[in-house]
Chain A
Amino acid sequence: EAGVAQSPRYKIIEKRQSVAFWCNPISGHATLYWYQQILGQGPKLLIQFQNNGVVDDSQLPKDRFSAERLKGVDSTLKIQPAKLEDSAVYLCASSRRGGRNEKLFFGSGTQLSVL
Chain B
Amino acid sequence: AQTVTQSQPEMSVQEAETVTLSCTYDTSENNYYLFWYKQPPSRQMILVIRQEAYKQQNATENRFSVNFQKAAKSFSLKISDSQLGDTAMYFCASQIQGAQKLVFGQGTRLTINP
> A residues near B, CB below 8 A?
3, 31, 33, 40-45, 48, 55-56, 89, 91, 93, 98-101, 103-104, 106-109, 111
Contact = CB atoms under 8 A, between A and B. Distances in A.
Contacts of B52: 101
A101 B100 CA distance: 8
B95 A106 contact: no
B84 interface: no
B104 interface: yes
Q: Size band of the B side of the interface?
A: 20 to 34
Contacts of A103: 47, 50
List the 8 closest pairs (A to B, CB-CB), nearest first.
A42-B104, A106-B45, A109-B43, A101-B33, A45-B101, A108-B44, A98-B100, A108-B43
B91 interface: yes
B106 interface: yes
Nearest to A33: B101
Contacts of A111: 43
Interface string B84-114: 0000000101010110111011110000000
B106 A107 contact: no
A107 B44 CA distance: 6
B107 A41 contact: yes
Contacts of B101: 33, 45, 48, 56
B105 A91 contact: no
A94 B97 CA distance: 18
Most buried by B among A3, A93, A101, A107: A101
